[in-house]
Amino acid sequence: MSTADNSILGLKMPTDPRWVDLASISLEEILTDHAFCEQKAATQCISLIQRYPDKVELVNALSPVVTEEWGHFRMVWAEMKKRGYELGKQRKDDYVNLLLQNEPKGIPVDDKLLHKLMICALIEARSCERFRLLSEGLEEEALRKFYYKFMVSEAGHYRMFIDLAEQYYGHQQVRDAWHQWLQIEANVLLQLAPRGDRMH
């Protein structure tokens, strides 16, 4: 079984199978969106470190991920340059914005961390699922291999965010929050039509 199967990732809603066909005819768009996703993954880890500098395990776990995500951005950008693509402007990320709207408001900053880690884990899990689809469904062999590497890497990040949450909140609380967020994510996906020019 692949490391990115939905059953392992826990995702409730499989991606619409038409998505990979749409993506394969808009490679420049998908690579551009992917490049920005990797940038956002790096900045999200930096912002967690800035917000929770007193949490040593968090700083230790996320510091190398910043470097790794930035490395991913550089890999995508290198691939884009090879193809003569331009980076262009950052796009509105409806998927992430809708997830963020569900963050509980007015709770202590230490309780907020649980939800922030769940959102990061979800984005990694969904990215991992999408990379698997690209690694299986794209026509070009080089790109299929390219996306296989990303799939493996984001699966590790998904686990890392869950494990990190368990260090601060304990197994049961993380389990409950994760199930709640899986449902939220499924509802978010239902609100979004599959777009071949977006990673999510």
Rule CB under 5 A: is residue 154 a binding residue for Fe ion? yes
Angle at 193 between CA 104 and CA 178, to 5 degrees: 35
For residues 35 and 87, is the Cβ–Cβ distance under 8 A? yes
Does 33 engage in binding with Fe ion (CB under 5 A)? no
Name the segment binding Fe ion (CB under 5 A); options: 7-15, 36-44, 131-139, 182-190: 36-44
Q: Considering the complex, what minimum distance in angstroms separates the CB of residue 106 from Fe ion?
A: 29
State the nearest-atom distance from the C-beta of 41 to Fe ion, in Å.
5
Nearest-approach distance from CB 154 to Fe ion, in angstroms:
5
Q: Which helix (H) or strand (E) holds 145?
A: helix 141-169
Site string for Fe ion, 63-102 (x = CB under 5 A): ------x--x------------------------------
Size of the site for Fe ion (CB under 5 A): 7
Q: Residue 80 CB, nearest distance to Fe ion (Å)?
A: 15
157 makes contact with Fe ion (CB under 5 A) = yes
**DSSP string of 74-131, one letter each residue:** HHHHHHHHHTT----PPPP-HHHHHHHHTSPPSS-HHHHHHHHHHHHHHHHHHHHHHH
Contact between 144 and 133 (Cβ < 8 Å): no
Size of the chain, expressed as the number of residues it contains: 200
Q: Give the footprint of Fe ion on this chain (CB under 5 A).
A: 38, 41, 69, 72, 124, 154, 157
